[in-house]
Structure 1
Amino acid sequence: MMTQFQELIPGLPDDIALECLIRIQTPAYLAATGVCSRWRNLLKSGEFSHLRKQNRLTRSYACLVQAKSETPGSKTTSPEFDISIFDSATRSWDRVDSSPVYPTRLPLFCQVASSEGKLVLMGGWDSENYEPVTRVLLYDFLTRRWKQGKDMPSKRSFFAIGGLNGRIYVAGGHDSDKNGLNSVCVYDILEDEWTELTPMNQVRDECQGLIIGSEFWVISGYATENQGEFKPSAEVYDVNLGEWTQVEDVWLGGGSPRSCAGVGKNKELINWASSISEVRFRTCAIELGDRVLVSGSVHEGGNGVFLLGKKQQDGKYGEFEKLVDVPDEFSGFVQSGCYVEV
């Protein structure tokens, strides 16, 4: 029997058909994956994602680990979190469907990163017993489905995370006994496998991860015996060379870099918590290409504020626009986040 759909689109050369398929709009992906196995395999491939990026057909979304609701002045110690999505192009908000593993609330302090159109959620503390969890969950924006990945190799909390080229890098944090870590591992999304990497030179608890070009930056953090004394240095992992380099005096001021570190001109780090007074508490910044979404409040327990800034040609950010039409259900404080390119 002749196999159906030997051609991507019957009657068209495959190169022309591919030019058509990479222009499918995101809402139509789920239907497109059901056309045939060849379409499904193509649309899920790294090559397809690369072609969309190369042709500037992708869109960037901010994915926020966000409190479901919050009353100003509330002292709630264990809020419930979901994953919200902000589209900076349309200024629209949405929410990712809950996973079967976490149907009502996400783990406290869980981390998210993305690569190849996949959102990866891992770590955090169980919301009932506060024990560290090692589960890894992946959300595919094309199929709008969750699946469970291979567990993290060990329990760790408050680690740095970053996604690049189909891999999620994890470094530092602390173990179940609150001992700081310098260990590093990487998760391959396609292979669903973890690999240990060369450790950092220093222990870095409560550090922050950023991807800058082909480098994974692990910013600040502190040693076990110096809890709360954040280092001014960072360690940089070149993913092509597989080598670490330490960079001194890049995080000044002594504060925590968690969720508030950004990148400016010439790889200069920005502390958004100290740069913008309106968001100096519970600050979270998510870079979206040439834009950045910064959230927080002017004082502890204050109303949440969302600001959108655009990077200028000189690499600096111009004036920030305050988002005024944020729906109430998306006004809760943001614990962490990342951007996803789909």
Structure 2
Amino acid sequence: MLEYFKMIPEELVRQILMRVSYKSHSKLKKVCKNWKAMVEDPQFYEDRLRCGRSEEFICLLETVNHQFKSLPLVTIYDPINKLWEKLPTIPAEFEFCSSSKLICVKHKLVLLGLSQRNRAGSKRKRTETTKAILIFDFLSCKWRKGADMPTRECPANFGCCASPEGLIYLAGGRQNGEITGKATSQAAVYNVETNEWKLLPNMLQNQWLCDCVFIEGMMYVVCLYDEEVQQFEPETEVWSVLPNMWFIEDCMYPMVAAFGRLYCFQWDVVTEYDSRENLWRIVDGLPQPLDSVDAAVLGDRIFLSGVESGSKNHTFFYIYQLPLKTGVNRERWICVERPQYFSQSCIQSVATLVI
């Protein structure tokens, strides 16, 4: 078979391999050195994206109760084949904190706000969030430590999101990493490729319990207890305030951008933001009331995780299919099944991987 491929022009071989599912790339690496180098080249995945051959997966940062212990876990959901799998365990000196977040940028998964043991083996207080970062590269399938967050305080309850250019933005949080600490106005941006952080101008107001999202080239920072939303323009690095934009009572997460619109999931309803009138409208209902909701965009759909209202450990997963402009009638909510092993998990963060 390999001799046959040697007779085919290299560019044509490349086009063929670009159509192979990512799940089979580990097998392609074993065929020959040329294929291994091709599949491990980041440009290969850029070309897959450009020609419409990339795949989308859901990544989840979670803890699982197993034999009376809380185990840190990063899992992947394949929505096409409906398969779940675990990523390799994070290095032993790192631990998740209550404010840890997960962001996907290109072929990398980034964990922010991790606790890390010092050389003596001791651990920080459980209520403290450190600046440690871990990066999982889906090309090498290995974890590596990233540059520590450069913020002046160790943030807790901070907001973060990825820009269309693949940069990670961080905003707000609690001072000194304490959940009772004062809110902060700090902001920074991280380049995963160069492993470099840059401090940004402070926000106009202190914010905590933040959620961040990019839409139409602007980053929006929403705070649970503030009706004024802060906007950041990356090109000019200027902050501005959008007054009376956020007034969904007692609702924080999640806010996601899809098709140029903002959506929020509040207990039992789906709300959509109307920028022309600066108000939120209820556009749909959830299949059931959910607490601790998180979400990620999956093409023209939204993946949703949440805990059954009134329950502390019964997590449900749904795929919300956004109404199409063509008027095609399709099922709005699809329940996602999980293996029994994950039934007692607690989801902290959800993100979409495009590879």
Short-chain TM bin: 0.7 to 0.9
Aligned pair partner of 1:60 in 56, 64, 67 = 56
Structure 1 residue runs of 5 or longer lacking an equivalent are 1-8, 222-229
Aligned residues: 317
Q: Are 1:261 and 1:272, in contact at CA under 8 Å, matched by a contact in 2?
A: no
1:273 maps to which residue?
267
Measured in 2, the distance between the counterparts of 1:315 and 1:304 equals 33
Q: Are 2:174 and 2:182, in contact at CA under 8 Å, matched by a contact in 1?
A: yes
Shift of 1:322: 2.1
Aligned pair partner of 1:137 in 125, 130, 134 = 134
Q: Are 1:235 and 1:247, in contact at CA under 8 Å, matched by a contact in 2?
A: yes
Instruction: Give the SS at the match of 1:334.
Output: strand
Shift of 1:38: 9.4
1:107 maps to which residue?
97
Structure 2 residue runs of 5 or longer lacking an equivalent are 117-122, 270-285
Shift of 1:318: 6.0
Measured in 2, the distance between the counterparts of 1:335 and 1:216 equals 22
Instruction: State yes or no: 1:294 paired with 2:304.
Output: yes
Aligned pair partner of 2:188 in 185, 190, 212 = 185
Shift of 1:314: 3.8
1:303 maps to which residue?
314
Instruction: Give the SS at the match of 1:278.
Output: coil
Q: Are 1:161 and 1:170, in contact at CA under 8 Å, matched by a contact in 2?
A: yes
1:334 maps to which residue?
347
Measured in 2, the distance between the counterparts of 1:190 and 1:327 equals 35
Measured in 2, the distance between the counterparts of 1:315 and 1:152 equals 45
Shift of 1:186: 1.1
1:149 maps to which residue?
146
Query: Counterpart of 1:319 in structure 2: which amino acid?
Result: R
Aligned pairs for 1:1-342 within 5 A: 15-30=11-26, 32=28, 35-36=32-33, 40=37, 43-45=40-42, 47-69=43-65, 79-102=70-93, 106-125=96-115, 129-130=125-126, 131-154=128-151, 155-164=154-163, 165-176=165-176, 178-221=181-224, 230-258=225-253, 260-263=254-257, 266-275=260-269, 276=286, 278-296=288-306, 297-301=308-312, 303-314=314-325, 319-323=332-336, 325-331=337-343, 332-342=345-355
Instruction: Give the SS at the match of 1:152.
Output: coil
Q: Share of identical aligned residues, percent? A: 18
Measured in 1, the distance between the counterparts of 2:72 and 2:145 equals 19
Q: Are 2:168 and 2:190, in contact at CA under 8 Å, matched by a contact in 1?
A: yes
RMSD: 3.2
Q: Are 2:101 and 2:348, in contact at CA under 8 Å, matched by a contact in 1?
A: no
Classify 1:151/1:301 alpha carbon distance in 2 versus 1 (closer, same or farther; 3 Å).
same
Classify 1:298/1:314 alpha carbon distance in 2 versus 1 (closer, same or farther; 3 Å).
farther
Measured in 2, the distance between the counterparts of 1:183 and 1:218 equals 12
1:80-108 CA-to-partner distances (Å, cap 9, x unmatched) read 331121122122111111122457x5333
Shift of 1:265: 6.5
Classify 1:269/1:309 alpha carbon distance in 2 versus 1 (closer, same or farther; 3 Å).
closer
1:157-178 CA-to-partner distances (Å, cap 9, x unmatched) read 1111112323211111122062
Q: Are 2:38 and 2:44, in contact at CA under 8 Å, matched by a contact in 1?
A: no
Measured in 2, the distance between the counterparts of 1:201 and 1:143 equals 41
Query: Counterpart of 1:329 in structure 2: which amino acid?
Result: Y
Shift of 1:241: 4.6
Shift of 1:44: 3.6
Measured in 2, the distance between the counterparts of 1:100 and 1:265 equals 37
Measured in 2, the distance between the counterparts of 1:193 and 1:210 equals 21
Shift of 1:336: 1.4
Measured in 1, the distance between the counterparts of 2:350 and 2:93 equals 17
1:252-292 CA-to-partner distances (Å, cap 9, x unmatched) read 2232423x223366523323434137243121222212111
1:3 maps to which residue?
none
- Could you state the TM-score of these two structures normalised by the residue count of structure 2? 0.77
Shift of 1:129: 1.9
Classify 1:24/1:213 alpha carbon distance in 2 versus 1 (closer, same or farther; 3 Å).
farther
Classify 1:66/1:309 alpha carbon distance in 2 versus 1 (closer, same or farther; 3 Å).
same
